[in-house]
C-alpha cells in the first residue's frame, strides 16, 4: 500500500509536509529492491541539502542508492535510530523509517511531485519493463538450449 498523504519522486523518495517541515524517506518499493540493508549515510542536523544533489546514501549487499531531494533546505532532524538498526527502514519505511526532516522556502515544489496514484503507475511501468527484460533473457537461454 502506497500512502496517499505523501508525495513521491521517480528516484523513490517520499515527502511529507506538515506546514513546518518536510520529512523525507524511501519508499517500500525501493527498500524491498535493495533487500538486505548494510549501511546508511545521512547528513547532520544544521547542514544544508541542495536540490538534485545527493545528500545521503543507503547500501545493500547488491546496490548503492544515492538519496536526493528536488527541494533545497536546512536539516533540522535526522533519524538517529536508523544508525542503531536499519530494520526500521526495512520494515516500516513510511513511519519509523523516515530519514531526515528539513525546512525550506521551496515548499511549492511539492506540488510538482507525484501523488500516490501517479507513483503506483510509475513503479508498475518499472516492474513491467523489468519483467520484459528478464523474459527476453530467458527466451535467449531457451533458444540456446534448443540449438545445442
Give residue 143's pLDDT band: very low, low, confident or very high (50, 70, 90). very low
Domain range annotation of the chain: 7-147
pLDDT digits (tens, 9 = 90+) for 101-119: 999 999 999 999 999 999 9
pLDDT digits (tens, 9 = 90+) for 53-96: 999 999 999 899 999 999 999 999 999 999 999 999 999 999 99
More confident residue, 138 or 31: 31
pTM of the full structure: 0.86
What pLDDT does 132 receive? 74
Angle CA(33)–CA(45)–CA(88) in degrees, nearest 5? 35
Beta bridge partners of 89: none
pLDDT at 139 > cutoff 60: no
Q: Which CATH class is domain 7-147?
A: mainly beta
More confident residue, 9 or 19: 9
| Long-range contacts (CB closer than 8 Å, 24 or more residues apart) made by 126-130 | none
| Long-range contacts (CB closer than 8 Å, 24 or more residues apart) made by 46-52 | 46/74, 46/75, 47/74, 47/75, 48/72, 48/73, 48/74, 48/75, 49/73, 49/74, 49/75, 49/100, 49/102, 51/106
Please give the mean pLDDT across all residues of the chain: 90
Amino acid at each position: 500500500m502506497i500512502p496517499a498523504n505523501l508525495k513521491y519522486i521517480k528516484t523513490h523518495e517520499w515527502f511529507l509536509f506538515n506546514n513546518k517541515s518536510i520529512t523525507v524517506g524511501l519508499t517500500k518499493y525501493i527498500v524491498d529492491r535493495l533487500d538486505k540493508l548494510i549501511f546508511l549515510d545521512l547528513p547532520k542536523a544544521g547542514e544544508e541539502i541542495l536540490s538534485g544533489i545527493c545528500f545521503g546514501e543507503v547500501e545493500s549487499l547488491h546496490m548503492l542508492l544515492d538519496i536526493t531531494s528536488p527541494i533545497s533546505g536546512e536539516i533540522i532532524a535526522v533519524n538517529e535510530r536508523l544508525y542503531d538498526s536499519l530494520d526500521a527502514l526495512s520494515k516500516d519505511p513510511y513511519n519509523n523509517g523516515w530519514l531526515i526532516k528539513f525546512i525550506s522556502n521551496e515548499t511549492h515544489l511539492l506540488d510538482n511531485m507525484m501523488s500516490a496514484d501517479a507513483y503506483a503507475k510509475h513503479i508498475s511501468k518499472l516492474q513491467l519493463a523489468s519483467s520484459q527484460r528478464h523474459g527476453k533473457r530467458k527466451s535467449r537461454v531457451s533458444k540456446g538450449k534448443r540449438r545445442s
